[in-house]
Structure formats: C-alpha cells, structure tokens
C-alpha cells in the first residue's frame, strides 16, 4: 500500500497548491488584493495547528493581530477567521483569554470583521460561550457553526440573539464526514441548510454559508430565493471554473475564504477532501502508514 500512500500525499499536495495563499502574510495580502480587484471580498485565516504550549498560542495570536493591522493599513475588503484551538483554548490556563482580548481589541480599533471557529480540542458549546463573550465587547464578531450541530438538536437557536452573525458550514475540523458527502444525503443536507437559514434570518441573524460545493450553494440559493439577497455565500480560495460558473450564474453575494501558512494538512483534509481520499488522508495525518492507513479507511 506504499504506492497508495504516496498517491494520497500527492493528491493532498495538489489540493493545497490551489487552495492555499502561500505561507507568508505578504502572500496572503497579495491574494486578497487581487481578489478585491476582481470584486470579491475575502476572509483570511492563518494555518498553524497543534498548539501545545502558551508560546505557540501567543505566536498564533500575534499572527492574527498582524494580519488584521495590515488589512486595515492597506484598506483591503477582508475579514479574519480565528480558530480557538490555535490560541491555546485547550490549554485551560487562561492564555486563550488574553489572546482573544488582543485579537478583538485590534479588530475593534481597525473596524475589521472577525469570525470564530472551534478547531481541534474545542467543542461547540465552548465555542458559543467564547463567541458570546467576544460579541458582547465588539459587534463585528461572528461564529462558525457546523451544519450537523444545527441539524441534530444542538439548541443553537436558543443560544443566539437578534443580529448575531453566524457562518454555517458542512465541513468542520473533526473526523466526522461532511453531512452531504454522498448523493443520498444531499437532499437532507439541503433541507437542513434551508431550515437553519430560515430560522436564523427569522431571528434577524446575519448569515454566511460556507461550502466548497458550488452546486450545493446554487441549490441553497434556489431554495431560499426570498432570502438570497440577505445571505453571504463563502467558497474556498482556488474554487474551480465549474464552481465559479455555477456561483456566478446564481448571482450570489460571494466571499472567498483565504487560508495561508505552512500547516496546511488539517485544512486541506478536513475542509476540502471527501470520501475515501479523505479517510485515508486523515489516517496519514494521524501518523498511519501504508496498510494501516488503508485499513483505517475501510473501518
């Protein structure tokens, strides 16, 4: 199975090459500038996972502070998306609170939209708690909630207030497969999307839908025609010409998700891949090799 392992790594690399805006803040800013020039607003995120100490948490926090300041200095049309797992949330030693305060204060001074994602080691209840604390101090803070959590009785609506900002996504940073990975479940996913959107908009929430599947975005738009103008539809950097055509024809309010950094593997695997490729890639990411990776994919 060594050849299959090598093939998976090559596939993941090809995905990354198209969907990652380089490894430096300058490469990300250049990408944002180019997208803005084409009329696309963006959201930037920094790819650096596996935080195990407060020094790395502070490093990641400073990276977000710097990108917010640069976006403001250059007058770019972009928000920033922060994963709590990157800034020490799972360390339980208070470092994440200080990091979050620095990021929120910098965003407030710059007037920059920020989004909060969970990431590894952060469950959705803790994410919502952190969001509420940040939102109470700055009104341009939004939260990303997995579609599965919206769909399986997670009591999200009961925790939201009027004018909250919510980004719904089918792809989260977990081993769970995307909710519409197979065609048989796409109809259910579409109903979950449209039901969640209607409920959120009824509460006057501001809603963004992030999905790498352009056809799914078009179906959501068609199923929510009366709400389409009120929604933002997010797609990953490097979306295909086919997806671009589908999105353009649907006349959606489009936003491009722009990740940058060296630690690309978790993003590429969890947010962009699907099916057997995704299963094996997760096994490779978790340190499995050859037959072990293949076996995990068959479980």
Domains of the chain, first to last: 1-20+269-299 (no CATH), 24-263 (3.20.20.220)
**pLDDT band with cut points at 50, 70 and 90 for residue 71:** very high
**pLDDT band with cut points at 50, 70 and 90 for residue 155:** low
26-41 pLDDT, tens digit each: 999 999 999 999 889 9
Is residue 248 within 8 Å of residue 34, measured between CB atoms?
no
Residue 250 scores a pLDDT above 90: no
**DSSP β-bridge partners for residue 144:** 167
Residue 285 scores a pLDDT above 50: yes
**Range in 125-139, 140-154, 270-284 the model is least confident about:** 270-284
Find the mean pLDDT for residues 77-104. Answer: 90
Residue 272 scores a pLDDT above 90: no
Residue 262 scores a pLDDT above 80: yes
Say what the pTM is. 0.84
Find where tokens 């975005």 sit.
217
């Amino acid at each position: 199975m060594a050849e299959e392992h090598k093939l998976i790594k090559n596939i993941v690399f090809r995905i990354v090459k198209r969907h990652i805006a380089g490894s430096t803040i300058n490469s990300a800013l250049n990408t944002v500038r180019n997208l803005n020039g084409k009329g696309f607003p963006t959201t930037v995120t920094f790819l650096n996972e596996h935080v195990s100490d407060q020094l790395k948490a502070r490093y990641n926090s400073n990276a977000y502070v710097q990108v917010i300041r640069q976006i403001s200095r250059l007058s770019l049309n972009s928000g920033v998306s922060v994963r709590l797992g990157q800034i020490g949330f799972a360390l339980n030693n208070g470092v994440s609170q200080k990091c979050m305060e620095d990021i929120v204060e910098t965003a407030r001074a710059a007037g920059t939209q920020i989004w909060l994602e969970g990431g590894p080691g952060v469950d959705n209840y803790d994410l919502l708690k952190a969001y509420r604390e940040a939102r109470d101090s700055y009104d341009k803070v939004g939260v990303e909630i997995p579609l599965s959590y919206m769909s399986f009785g997670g009591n999200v609506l009961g925790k939201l207030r009027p004018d909250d900002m919510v980004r719904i996504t089918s792809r989260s940073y977990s081993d769970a497969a995307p909710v519409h990975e197979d065609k048989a479940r796409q109809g259910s996913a579409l109903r979950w999307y449209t039901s969640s959107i209607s409920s959120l908009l009824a509460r006057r929430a501001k809603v963004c839908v992030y999905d790498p599947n352009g056809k799914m975005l078009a179906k959501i738009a068609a199923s929510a025609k009366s709400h389409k103008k009120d929604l933002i539809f997010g797609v990953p950097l490097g979306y295909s010409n086919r997806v671009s055509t589908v999105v353009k024809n649907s006349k959606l309010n489009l936003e491009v998700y722009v990740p940058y950094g060296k630690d690309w593997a978790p993003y590429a695997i969890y947010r962009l891949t699907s099916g057997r490729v995704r299963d094996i890639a997760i096994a490779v990411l978790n340190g499995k090799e050859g037959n072990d990776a293949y076996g995990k994919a068959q479980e």
